[in-house]
Amino acid sequence: MRAVVQRVSRADVHVGDELVGAIGVGLLVLLGVGRGDDLDQAHVVADKIAALRIFPDGAGRMHQSVRDVGGGVLVVSQFTLYGDVRRGNRPSFTTAAAPEDAEPLVEVVVRRLRDVGLDVAEGRFGATMAVTSTNDGPITIVLDTAVG
């Protein structure tokens, strides 16, 4: 799995004119599922997101997690994280999981984040979405279970 995690002061996602998810301070997570990803990888990604210490403490050092600061998490599925442009200029998505395999794993990540007490908002799987955010820092972390 791949996740691009951004520390934000706010983020929301719309499908057409409908607001489907929004958070204030917290993490915007763009989440991609690759072929062969499984439940274990979904748990690893969710646990890492919940524990990432990328929020400032009283001294301004990154020592707090999203849980520590009472923040929310907005999870947006993003198969394009598996776009491969090593050959040519049009991305190939052959390493992305099929939608029927990816959607349940995205839901596992969301459920696990909720199980640890986080307020989690979501995009809509498979929809064309408009995501807006205000990146705080900016702080952006890339998680990839294939790399370790």
Which one of the listed residues 6, 41, 78, 145 is annotated catalytic?
78
80 is catalytic: yes
pLDDT below 70 — which residues of the chain? 147-148
Q: Are 7 and 136 in contact (CB under 8 A)?
A: yes
Q: Has this prediction a pTM greater than 0.85?
A: yes
In angstroms, the CA 53 to CA 133 distance is 20
pLDDT at 13: 98
pLDDT at 34: 96
pLDDT at 147: 57
94 is catalytic: no
In angstroms, the CA 36 to CA 11 distance is 30
In angstroms, the CA 87 to CA 72 distance is 38
Which one of the listed residues 6, 41, 55, 79 is annotated catalytic?
79
Domains of the chain, with CATH numbers?
A: 2-144 (3.50.80.10)
Nearest by Cα to 111 from 50, 67, 60: 50
Tens of pLDDT, residues 51-73: 999 999 999 899 999 999 999 99
pLDDT at 148: 44
